[in-house]
Structure 1
Amino acid sequence: MNAVEEAVRTLGKAIQADSRYIAYHEAKAANDGDEALQGDIQAFNLKRMSYQHEMEKSEEKRDSVKMQQLETQVQEIYDRIVTNPHMAAFQAAKEAMDAMMQEVDMILTLCANGEDPDTCHPDLSNCTGNCASCGGCH
């Protein structure tokens, strides 16, 4: 094992020991174990597929009443999903985990671009997540 691989494995262990990682995986497990939430997710996907199927029909064969009903049902299920406490906790934990990984990625990129590993610090305040907006920082 070379020095870079060893350092990355050490970083991986540090990430897995971080409270954001732990919270993310606990929230994911709670989401996966919530039968009502999983049922809503399945129902959402099926209704969305039905809606898309109806949209793909030619205009003269499309049933606008059915489409409106499906649209309403999709929105109702979506609202249940996003207001589910497990989903809300998961979303918050995922955002924290994503932010941590974005910072790690940016630090590694700065180092690969010649910045001092001990002092470089990414400025995440202006990051949109879209590299085109800032010139490809990560």
Structure 2
Amino acid sequence: MQEVEAAARVLGKAIQADPRYQAYHAAKKANDADEALQQEIQEFNLKRMSYQRETERLAEQQNPERIQKLEQKIQELYLSINANANMAAFEAAKQAMDGMMQEVDMILTLCANGEDPDTCHPDLSACTGNCASCGGGCH
């Protein structure tokens, strides 16, 4: 057990030394430091919660105009957030980081299933990201 834990810690250090992790970490830090972006994200989350409450309440009152206005505001905030350069950089870095972690997870899964750790190679080309399409187990 201690050997596996030690190997996992070595792997953790290697992940943190990888340029994809470093880009992700830097993008996350820039995202978190962008006060205007964080304010928009907070407003978006509040509007989304308000929308959920309003749709439940307004469904009884049959007020589709109010629901439509809320939907429009949420969409505007969503588009504004995604247009932010820090958010775009973060999303790109997150995708690269997620891809790396998916590959690591697949290698570990292959090894746990008896594949040779030195030669097994994950085939991520067929992964849709939806575990229902293949039965899961890769991420």
Q: CA RMSD in A?
A: 1.5
- Following TM superposition, by how much is the alpha carbon of 1:129 offset from its aligned partner in structure 2, in angstroms? 2.4
Aligned to 2:26: 26
1:106-121 to structure 2, matched below 5 A, reads 106-121=106-121
**Structure 2: gaps of 5 or more residues:** none
Aligned to 2:8: 8
Are the equivalent residues in 1 in contact too, given 2:58–2:67 (CA < 8 A)? no
Label 1:42 to 1:109 Cα distance change in 2 as closer, same or farther (>3 A): same
**Is 1:64 aligned to residue 64 of structure 2?**
yes
Q: 1:62, 1:35 → 2: CA distance?
A: 38
The share of aligned pairs that are identical, in percent, is: 70
Aligned to 2:96: 96
Taking structure 2 as the reference length, the TM-score comes to 0.92
Label 1:135 to 1:72 Cα distance change in 2 as closer, same or farther (>3 A): closer
Q: 2:9, 2:58 → 1: CA distance?
A: 54
Taking structure 1 as the reference length, the TM-score comes to 0.93
- Following TM superposition, by how much is the alpha carbon of 1:58 offset from its aligned partner in structure 2, in angstroms? 5.3
Q: 1:112, 1:60 → 2: CA distance?
A: 53
- Following TM superposition, by how much is the alpha carbon of 1:135 offset from its aligned partner in structure 2, in angstroms? 3.2
SS state at 2:125 partner:
coil
